[in-house]
Amino acid sequence: MIYFSTNKSSIPVSIKKATLEGLAPDGGLYIPSEIPRFSPEEITLLEGASFNNIAFAIAKKFIDGSVPPDQLSDIIESCYTFDTPIVQLDQNTFVEELFCGPTLAFKDYGARFLARLTGYFAAEEEKLITVLVATSGDTGSAVAYGFQGIANTRVVLLYPSGKVSRLQEQQLTTAGSNVHALEVEGDFDDCQRMVKQAFVDPDLNKSLTLTSANSINISRLIPQSFYYAWATMQLKERFGLHDPLFSVPSGNYGNLTAGVLAKRMGFPIGHFIAASNANDSVTRYIEEGRYEPRPTITTLSTAMDVGNPSNFARLRYFYHNDHDSMAKDITGMSVSDEETIATIRSVHERFDYVMDPHTAVAYRALERFRGNESNAEKAGIALSTAHPVKFLDAIESALGKKIAIPPNLTELMEKKKSATLISSEYRELASFLNRLDE
């Protein structure tokens, strides 16, 4: 298996090089030369398998011998030591809870796998890898904890000042060890722009070996397909349901892209709903066929506040820049903050279930999609990407009551924040990175 750039002007590379580089030299995103397929017989053999066994079966096809099977199995086993519950709300509606990992967010699935794979490859190459990450909240904390203490690596996180929740900021800025936090005076798009500029800065790349742990890194994206495959198997085995809809809270569109990978691999997925907030550039593209990014708008679902999502380049590539082909698989829906709050309340009243704002966006979009009579009876899964406690203010305001905070998070909130404040000028990031070795 080789990987090449969406911009088509870089030399194809191995999974090792794609992982350690993160972004291709031409500024494009790495994609596999072909998406590996599971035959119906192979999928049948996975029935009854554990999450980790399904993850190993998928990873093995993408890694393609670059990591010995026994060591790849060890990586998988060390990554996923937590559950991935499928919670039934009514006969045809489910929530896949992806927040049971150490940072209470779905980013743990990708970040932990990427950290261990990067550490494995870095040790082979005898290199110190600098992991550079732009985050709107949960990516950074997952990466901080995923890479914490991993040999031959160090992490630099860029997050937008004042635009992440306090719990998220505490997770970003208290990891210590080999993790450095940069608080950027700007929004997520500024952070992402700066990271991309660093990867194509020839002077910086002479002195540092840079990689990314954002979903622009293909080895962060691949493991996110694991939980789509798991959900389709669980729905069939436990509930006798097939070809579910997946409603995906969408910001940088890595999560949705991973779902497309799972569907192309052969796992039985019926349709995707790209659930966005007011940052609806991809939603508008799917509806109208024109891609017109706009400045980022701040919303309650902060991790989805992305005006120009990176992974849209991969989506367009997978669909050969054919709008009609993409729209056949994906429906885009934008959900307002007012709808988000109303959904948090109504779901709690109907099911005694508490959703964070991102999950509420996904649930509301699923409801709206199934308002069409032809879709009303289809099984649907809303991906729950963060624990409600990560967004206490929004949840408590919506429900009018206090939410219990787990004891370990209370301890986290009392830790001293450690971050370096910088402007959104790239030169400040470059200066910080050049000082790391001093």
Q: Is 176 left (phi over 0), alpha (psi -120 to 50) or beta?
A: left
Query: Which residues share a beta bridge with 94?
Result: 88, 381
Would you say how long the chain is, in residues? 438
Q: Is 419 left (phi over 0), alpha (psi -120 to 50) or beta?
A: beta
| Whether the Cβ atoms of residue 199 and residue 35 lie closer than 8 Å to each other | no
Q: Where are the alpha helices (DSSP H) in 90-136?
A: 107-125
The CA distance from 189 to 305, in Å, is 9
Q: End-to-end alpha-carbon separation of the chain, Å?
A: 39
DSSP string, 222-284: GGGGHHHHHHHHHIIIII---S-EEEEE-SSSHHHHHHHHHHHHT----EEEEEE-S--HHHH
State the angle between helix axes of 51-63 and 69-79 in degrees (0 to 180), rounded to the nearest 10: 130
State the angle between helix axes of 337-351 and 357-369 in degrees (0 to 180), rounded to the nearest 10: 90
Query: Which residues share a beta bridge with 32?
Result: 3
The active-site residue, picked from 16, 17, 107, 390, is: 107
Tell me the HSE value of 219 on the side-chain side, using a 13 A CA sphere.
34
| Whether the Cβ atoms of residue 120 and residue 82 lie closer than 8 Å to each other | no
Report the greatest alpha carbon distance in the chain: 64
The CA distance from 406 to 390, in Å, is 11
Burial category of 353 from C-beta neighbours within 10 Å (exposed 0-12, middle 13-18, buried 19 and up): middle
390 is catalytic: no
Distances (CA, A) of 168 to 104, 137, 409: 10, 6, 11
The CA distance from 103 to 251, in Å, is 19
Query: What's the token pair of residue 397?
Result: 């305001």
Catalytic residues: 107
